[in-house]
Amino acid sequence: MNPIKHVAIIMDGNGRWGLKHNKSRNHGHRAGLKTVEKIIKISLKKKIPYLTLFAFSTENWRRPKKEINFLLKLLENFLQTKLNQLIEQKIKLKIIGNKNKFPKRIKKIINYSENKTKKNKKLHINLAINYGSKSEIVESIKKIIKKKQNVSEKKITSNLYTSDLPNPDILIRTGNTKRLSNFLLWQIAYSEIFFEKKLWPDFNESDYLKILNKFKIIKRNFGRI
């Protein structure tokens, strides 16, 4: 049985879910946050040590301002209202992505939350925000060159945002779309990928458990036979 150390998720389909329910796209994002909370709960129960969630890509800045502001507010509220719960549950929160582009207020609360949870070890939640994989790889190579070191796979890995995380065992994308959308391209070289038809707010405990159970019995070769 394959052990599960790291699950990464592209939480797609919030906007469509909101519209499908004759409401706004933002209504879908709010519902998406409820699914995030459910998935965190199950990950804790199943003793999965790393969970990485794609919450905002570098390309998402192209969305209408109203939607961007809503997503930022959702993040801010989440950190404000759930931080104590994260601490109690021994969850370590880490942001992967370029924090510089965020308003000062959000940066402050992100840094505060990371700092308050940094010693926790039960579940590492990595929120990918203003994250783009290609730029992450370019930045990693730039750092290596700046330090006048030789470029190697090991060095590129150790200069990514994810340098302290194991590679994802499982990548899930909901929303009935089969693409990777510039998410963890380097890190998922040997991950098992599950494309899920359901929109993210509809993704539930049983869908998640089905994937975890399917993964456990996959023969993983890592290039061998």
Residue 36 in contact with ligand FPP, rule: CB under 6 A: yes
Determine how many CB atoms are found less than 10 A away from the CB of residue 127: 23
Residue 208 in contact with ligand FPP, rule: CB under 6 A: no
Residue 183 in contact with ligand FPP, rule: CB under 6 A: no
Cβ–Cβ < 8 Å for 175, 13: yes
Task: Note if 98 is an active site residue.
Answer: no
Residue 92 in contact with ligand FPP, rule: CB under 6 A: no
- One residue of 33, 95, 96, 172 binding ligand FPP per CB under 6 A: 33
Q: Which is nearer to ligand FPP, 10 or 140 (CB)?
A: 10
- One residue of 8, 9, 55, 171 binding ligand FPP per CB under 6 A: 55
Residue 188 in contact with ligand FPP, rule: CB under 6 A: no
Residue 75 in contact with ligand FPP, rule: CB under 6 A: yes
Task: Note if 207 is an active site residue.
Answer: no
- One residue of 97, 132, 168, 175 binding ligand FPP per CB under 6 A: 175
Which one is catalytic: 12, 14, 26, 126? 12
Mapping DSSP onto H, E and C, the string for the chain reads: CCCCCEEEEECCCHHHHHHHCCCCHHHHHHHHHHHHHHHHHHHHHCCCCEEEEEEEEHHHHHCCHHHHHHHHHHHHHHHHHHHHHHHHCCEEEEEECCHHHCCHHHHHHHHHHHHHHCCCCCEEEEEEEEECHHHHHHHHHHHHHHCCCCCCHHHHHHCCCCCCCCCCCEEEECCCCCCCCCCCCCCCCCCEEEECCCCHHHCCHHHHHHHHHHHHCCCCCCCCC
- One residue of 4, 6, 32, 43 binding ligand FPP per CB under 6 A: 32
Q: Residue holding tokens 């879910």?
A: 17
Q: Which is nearer to ligand FPP, 97 or 175 (CB)?
A: 175
Residue 16 in contact with ligand FPP, rule: CB under 6 A: yes
Binding site for ligand FPP (CB under 6 A): 11-16, 29, 32-33, 36, 53, 55-56, 60, 71, 74-75, 78, 127, 175, 200
Q: Which residues are catalytic?
A: 12, 60
